[in-house]
Structure 1
């Protein structure tokens, strides 16, 4: 009966004698609509079908439609598996090794990159899932505990290799990391590597991220993406925040498969040190001779000392990449939360994997050429600022660009002096503070002992009872004041013994004044730290307030928080200015406009008072910092262009090889009589081929830009055996002729250029590529001629 229904284009909701069926066309319409608009759920779609058919909505139709949809997804997954087997693409980790053509489809004779692969990881708690529980259990002491789960057992697993299982993640649980974290905390991180960011970021603290709301089972996802946005792997964060184990699992999973790579993480400064201290990751790096295990890249939210070591502006081999692709990906994937928050564990993972597969195939792949062209255009724009850098160097009287490298080292050395206070200075400041406390306590005793009995209003004397009561009150105050003085004196005696002070400091003395200056400096720096923390929180709140998809109520809540935060910032400014004016010499004060317009935290760090006055150093001046950053951007622009030339060559080669391979396999399968599989291969070929004209149109435009040094001529893949069953021989390679006449103006790249311009240019670009590359399906020989 079920087989008969399928042959008619119906999907039954029960195995035997179904009474309700759903057409496969309706299931496909919902699948595509849901992938394009994840907020569309099963209930809304079934109600729409009821409206179309003119019947009243029935509650059980949603459950029946969900059953049919699960069967449809299972059939599609089985068909995809058979196609991959027929194409020879069923090897372990095949998808991971071929997830991004620009990153992983290597070509012969390409230059070696300093960091072969750039990835990014981050945690996202938007896709959390409520755990269905029974009523709360009441203990004997009257307290309550979460009830037991009432979810039905479901052992189904999502097909594919996107997800890393819970069992694999749990191997890196907190218990197995205790010894590592203890050794790491005891001294694995040196003072030179410590950037001082641990107190600023909550997801650096295991004791904080280990706590989560009891209402959730999965508290979010932790994906890894390449720099172009293709999903490599993903895992669930289970009843926790961003624990260290999630990052370790990503590194252990990617290193053996993809090799050496740089990983971008918002807490990369701390995470990189933990990776280098981890025995398994260090062993993997040693066995494979990796130069760098993981790169610690993040944005401007960390302090300046951390930025000088880990910001992508100063890290070699990264180019102009910011490695913040996860945030952009989350802004789109957060739409899944509406339909997965109350789903079962299997249906939630199924929705996430289907969305990732669809996004990789139809969004990320479609925009890959646009991303490459946009990055290339940005790199050329940065290289165009070389003249302005030379002008800045003349104004700053800088003879060589090598000076900027020394400036960065000087800034690092200065910020290192601010990281910790010397033990001797700390004890001197403590001794000074104890002396101040002793002096204040002694003056309090003298004042109380010299106090006279109060008089009644009008000058009348107190009665005996009132006078006795007032005397007892004054005596109690005197006794308390003497006890406080004795405690302060004991603390002074203790420090004098520990510091071997023979003569007590007196107010106005040289040592007294030196210690007072250090105390004022500490108070100033703490006021600056407090102000800086409030500004960081304000930056994040403003970014969230303007984030796409933020609902009205949340925006209103953030707006109220900003008002309160602004009051706190104003109070912190007053506190900072008071501390700045108490400094000797006085430090620059700040006003409201200067603080709210602050873009980078380096402006705060350079206000810090160190043991040396650096306010007139060239690297501390705004013009010097701007020139130094421009110098590093120019260096990274060359790295970016080198990487893009490699990626564009790989991508063009992949387009040609993929089309040739799928056409060859389709013909082979038809010859062998596998018409069904051959039809699926044809659909796969059409799926990828629909974007070829658009890709070539963009790349041809890129080749016309002045300064383009790459090639859009297909090369020869290093992994040709994965794409052809017959070995290829390259007969002849002739450089591609110029694609535009001399004097043509370069065309700009924008997001809509593929839709607004005429399609004829895209067809001409594809025709030009086909004329250059002729693939013979008979002998498997790739001929390249004019």
Structure 2
């Protein structure tokens, strides 16, 4: 033992070795090997402990043993625990250990607000979605059989492990379960009682079934955690995540995350592939409705998944048509899952703790080395994409001149007309419905009046038996007449009520209104079938137009094609109903075949539109040229909003870089001069974790600021939060000093920081080992006390 060490284990740690047992360790693993595996695993999540241990065995020329992987896991768990304690001490030293501090400061571009900024309609945009790749196999005994001989899952043989990984990425399972049944009955009553919910139906209810629990019911006996349900900001920083447990995408996961984000961050817009339904569910939920109204919550349909929704839903919920969203597609979860899915192979058979630990470590790494590293590149790419869209304005003006359109305001009117037209096809006009109902009630009234007339007197019976039969027949007739009188009274009351609602006198057979209503009733079945078919075919044509539109990517084309294929069954069923109704009309109406519908490419091909309530074939918003111009108009509107948002985000990011560097440098010097060099060294490492990318960020943003069309500023502003300014002596007093653009100037701070770190590198390593040793002793002492 080294003088001053209380335990052999702590002496090993001081020498850069991690023991696998606390008191008399016989096996140690170098901290360098543990750190190398940690970094390699985060960069390549498919690399597991077993493969790494086998590689070490190959390097050392020894045969692999099963227990070596277990020993390495023990040492690695201890190493991560020590890192977590050190990180916690750093956060305490920086006064960043308050509840939800990480979430409130997760993204510099979204959340580092500056004084004098213009308020955005949606101050923050996020995206949520479920992913079932990160399942965890549930260890059970062999399956058993019940009394009926049906197989049932065996008892669990999971090892009890109550440890929780460090960090606040996960919402507790208890918090999520609180939303499982709370207020669901009241919420469903709200759906029925709320007229807006019924009238604002978008037609997606039967198609988007993500929230149904039986989707993954077959996996209940195999998996405990069946995936993750995360929330990310629009710059791909992880905000919060929950585990999906023995289920698919249930509403409770979205409720729990939405509640947490609204209470912590305030007003925000969220993208979700079933946002059309989820927005209504949140605003009807008794536990969320008031908070959603207070914060201005809005759930949208992402650009990619939204193209698979019906057109009625798209015109109301698609990001292209929603004010304040910009060009953001709100599909960040999909790209994140494409990378995090590689983690599944190493977590599928892990324990609950090790799965959660691996996911948490991956999130921390992704925030710094993926999201933060590429933040400036993402901002620049978004800005250039918005400028590219704005460059299409002359082409739009040329098209408008060719179509004799005087103002772009007309495109908003066109979209409203399309919305109203699609809604009218989903239900009958109220006036026509009322008149047809009144006509039917009049017919019923005349029938009950005939049935209620007194029956003719029967001839006298010749004998007693005949008298009994005649009396029984008379009683039956009188009973029928009494029932007819009751039905007549009810029909009369209904007729009188309808006459009051219509404001009309009693119609009589042969009258103009009577005959007109009779014709409408005869056409009703045909008209209903035609409306349903018309709505499906028009939506199909508009989506086909989107597939052939320039700029539509290959994946989006395939996604729309799959959605069209899924809806083909509904179109075929509508064709059958229409043909049956057309055969019963006088004169007989033309019928349709599936082959004819498939050949429809333009509305002008759909001759049956003239049979509808409104012929839209010549409407400007229904013509291909008009629709292209309308879509380009809305893209230009969203491009203006995108540039407005990016101008704020770029200045926030530049200010954050300057403030964060000065703040951390100040506290590093404070701790060093205050007699705590080990903690000062850890603050320095924390400072360099992100600062290594700052020169690259400033260089990218500097180049963007010189490009034509850039209207923002890369001058540092003043943050609303004073956390990084209190007690900090800034190296540069003028906060409005422009950010440097020269590559040499950008690299100079990095070289100075690197040189400064090298000067005391030896002392820092010794201090770091002292810190690790002290932490290890504390952990061992806690474990000893627990025993």
Fold-level match, TM-score > 0.5?
Answer: yes
Say yes or no: does 1:341 pair with 2:322.
no
SS of match in other structure, 2:319:
coil
In structure 2, the partner of 1:21 is: 28
Which among 621, 626, 629 is matched to residue 628 of structure 2? 626
Going from structure 1 to structure 2, the CA distance change for 1:202 and 1:211 (only over 3 Å counts) comes to farther
Which among 263, 279, 286 is matched to residue 286 of structure 2? 279
Which among 743, 755, 758 is matched to residue 762 of structure 1? 743
Which residues of structure 2 form unaligned runs of 5+?
1-7, 441-490, 496-506, 753-787
In structure 1, the partner of 2:488 is: none
Say yes or no: does 1:669 pair with 2:671.
yes
| CA shift for structure 1 position 276 | 1.3
| CA shift for structure 1 position 526 | 9.1
State the distance in 2 between where 1:594 and 1:50 align.
66
Which residues of structure 1 form unaligned runs of 5+?
433-496, 548-554, 740-760, 772-786
State the distance in 2 between where 1:259 and 1:527 align.
39
State the distance in 1 between where 2:338 and 2:610 align.
36
State the distance in 1 between where 2:530 and 2:578 align.
13
Q: Which moved more, 1:174-183 or 1:135-144?
A: 174-183
Say yes or no: does 1:656 pair with 2:665.
no
In structure 1, the partner of 2:301 is: 297
| CA shift for structure 1 position 114 | 1.3
Q: Is the 8 A contact 1:393 1:399 kept in 2?
A: yes
In structure 1, the partner of 2:646 is: 644
Say yes or no: does 1:38 pair with 2:45.
yes
| CA shift for structure 1 position 426 | 12
State the distance in 2 between where 1:377 and 1:534 align.
28
| CA shift for structure 1 position 94 | 0.8
State the distance in 1 between where 2:542 and 2:81 align.
50
Which among 229, 234, 246 is matched to residue 227 of structure 1? 234
Which among 327, 332, 335 is matched to residue 328 of structure 1? 335
State the distance in 2 between where 1:322 and 1:90 align.
34
State the distance in 2 between where 1:577 and 1:510 align.
18
State the distance in 2 between where 1:110 and 1:620 align.
41
State the distance in 2 between where 1:31 and 1:334 align.
18
SS of match in other structure, 1:120:
strand
Q: Is the 8 A contact 2:165 2:357 kept in 1?
A: yes
Which among 381, 395, 400 is matched to residue 388 of structure 2? 381
1:222-277 CA distances to partner (integer Å, 9 max, x unpaired)? 10110000000000011111111111111211122211111111111111111112
1:325-382 CA distances to partner (integer Å, 9 max, x unpaired)? 1111111111111111111111111111100100101111010000100010011111
| CA shift for structure 1 position 631 | 1.0
In structure 1, the partner of 2:527 is: 518
State the distance in 2 between where 1:671 and 1:738 align.
31
Going from structure 1 to structure 2, the CA distance change for 1:735 and 1:565 (only over 3 Å counts) comes to closer
State the distance in 2 between where 1:15 and 1:646 align.
52
Say yes or no: does 1:74 pair with 2:81.
yes
Q: Is the 8 A contact 1:189 1:273 kept in 2?
A: no
State the distance in 2 between where 1:3 and 1:256 align.
44
| CA shift for structure 1 position 221 | 0.5
| CA shift for structure 1 position 530 | 12
| CA shift for structure 1 position 534 | 13
In structure 1, the partner of 2:258 is: 251
Q: TM-score, normalised by structure 2?
A: 0.75
Q: Quick check: which has more Rg, 1 or 2?
A: 2
Q: Is the 8 A contact 1:228 1:371 kept in 2?
A: yes
Which among 251, 267, 275 is matched to residue 268 of structure 1? 275
In structure 2, the partner of 1:475 is: none
SS of match in other structure, 1:201:
coil
Report 1:359-374 matches (<5 A).
359-374=366-381
Going from structure 1 to structure 2, the CA distance change for 1:674 and 1:734 (only over 3 Å counts) comes to closer
Report 1:423-502 matches (<5 A).
none
1:185-229 CA distances to partner (integer Å, 9 max, x unpaired)? 443653342211111101254665788533111111010110000
Q: Is the 8 A contact 1:120 1:227 kept in 2?
A: yes
Q: Which moved more, 1:99-108 or 1:176-185?
A: 176-185
Q: How many positions carry a matched residue from both structures?
A: 663
Q: TM-score, normalised by structure 1?
A: 0.75
Going from structure 1 to structure 2, the CA distance change for 1:345 and 1:355 (only over 3 Å counts) comes to same
SS of match in other structure, 1:313:
helix
1:383-404 CA distances to partner (integer Å, 9 max, x unpaired)? 1111111111112211111111
Q: Is the 8 A contact 2:532 2:574 kept in 1?
A: no
| CA shift for structure 1 position 531 | 8.2
In structure 2, the partner of 1:400 is: 407
State the distance in 1 between where 2:434 and 2:221 align.
43
SS of match in other structure, 2:156:
coil
Q: Is the 8 A contact 2:663 2:728 kept in 1?
A: no
| CA shift for structure 1 position 16 | 2.0
In structure 1, the partner of 2:503 is: none
Say yes or no: does 1:172 pair with 2:179.
yes
Going from structure 1 to structure 2, the CA distance change for 1:575 and 1:180 (only over 3 Å counts) comes to closer
Going from structure 1 to structure 2, the CA distance change for 1:515 and 1:688 (only over 3 Å counts) comes to closer
Q: Is the 8 A contact 1:524 1:580 kept in 2?
A: no
In structure 2, the partner of 1:480 is: none
| CA shift for structure 1 position 718 | 1.2
Q: Is the 8 A contact 2:347 2:354 kept in 1?
A: yes
State the distance in 2 between where 1:587 and 1:690 align.
67
Q: Which moved more, 1:626-635 or 1:717-726?
A: 717-726
SS of match in other structure, 2:618:
coil
Say yes or no: does 1:199 pair with 2:180.
no
Q: Is the 8 A contact 1:662 1:685 kept in 2?
A: yes
Q: Is the 8 A contact 1:211 1:239 kept in 2?
A: no
| CA shift for structure 1 position 285 | 4.5
State the distance in 2 between where 1:764 and 1:593 align.
63
SS of match in other structure, 2:109:
helix
SS of match in other structure, 1:346:
helix
State the distance in 1 between where 2:750 and 2:52 align.
44
| CA shift for structure 1 position 524 | 3.5
Q: Is the 8 A contact 2:226 2:248 kept in 1?
A: yes
State the distance in 1 between where 2:626 and 2:732 align.
53
Going from structure 1 to structure 2, the CA distance change for 1:381 and 1:157 (only over 3 Å counts) comes to same
Q: Which moved more, 1:203-212 or 1:635-644?
A: 203-212
Q: Which moved more, 1:212-221 or 1:724-733?
A: 724-733
